[in-house]
Amino acid sequence: MARDSTRELLANLLKRRDELRLESEALERLIETYRSLAMLEREEPADQLDLWKGGRSSRARSAYVSEMMAAARRLILTAGRPLTRSELLRELEGEGYVVDGKDKSKVLGTNIWRSEQFRHVGQLGYWPKDAPMPGRFADKHSQ
């Protein structure tokens, strides 16, 4: 009888975990939708949204880059593997982030390096320093 109770409890816990995972994924999608809507609702012309050009305070640029680095971290962790600069650039621009420069990938790479939040994993790309490295990539880790 206790065995059945334990199994039932475990089944309920597993079901609840799955429900929470689905709720979390739905919340992430909702946040992304509202982030996209917020970008569209801005009254400024698109070229003035580029905080990397002149006309913005260093505090505003810093906040923008910080938000973009948080998005990069989320993208990497969602992928479950290191992402290259070009992969990150494509994904970030797809979310509405603006990176200015002749070599956008290099500009992004410089900001990743300056943030000191990521480690470079050989030819594979970048992984957050504060997250455990997936075992299959750990042996390829180099800084």
Whether 47 shows a pLDDT value over 50: the answer reads no
pLDDT of 43 reads 46
pLDDT band at 29 (very low <50, low <70, confident <90, very high): confident
The percentage of residues in the chain with a pLDDT greater than 90, rounded to a whole number, is 38
pLDDT band at 16 (very low <50, low <70, confident <90, very high): confident
Whether 44 shows a pLDDT value over 70: the answer reads no
CB atoms within 10 A of CB 99: 19
Tokens (6 digits) for 101: 């420069």
Tokens (6 digits) for 68: 């973009």
The answer to whether residues 132 and 81 touch, using CB atoms and an 8 Å cutoff, is no
pLDDT of 23 reads 78
* Cα 93 to Cα 80: distance, rounded to the nearest angstrom: 20
* Mean pLDDT for all residues in the chain: 81
pLDDT in tens, 70-113: 999 999 999 999 999 999 999 999 999 988 888 999 999 999 99
pLDDT of 18 reads 82
* Cα 130 to Cα 143: distance, rounded to the nearest angstrom: 14
pLDDT of 141 reads 52
- Average pLDDT of 107-135? 91
- Neighbouring residues of 51: CB distance < 8 A, sequence distance ≥ 6: 60, 61, 64, 98
The percentage of residues in the chain with a pLDDT greater than 70, rounded to a whole number, is 78
Q: Which of 124, 117, 118 is nearest to 140 (CA)?
A: 124
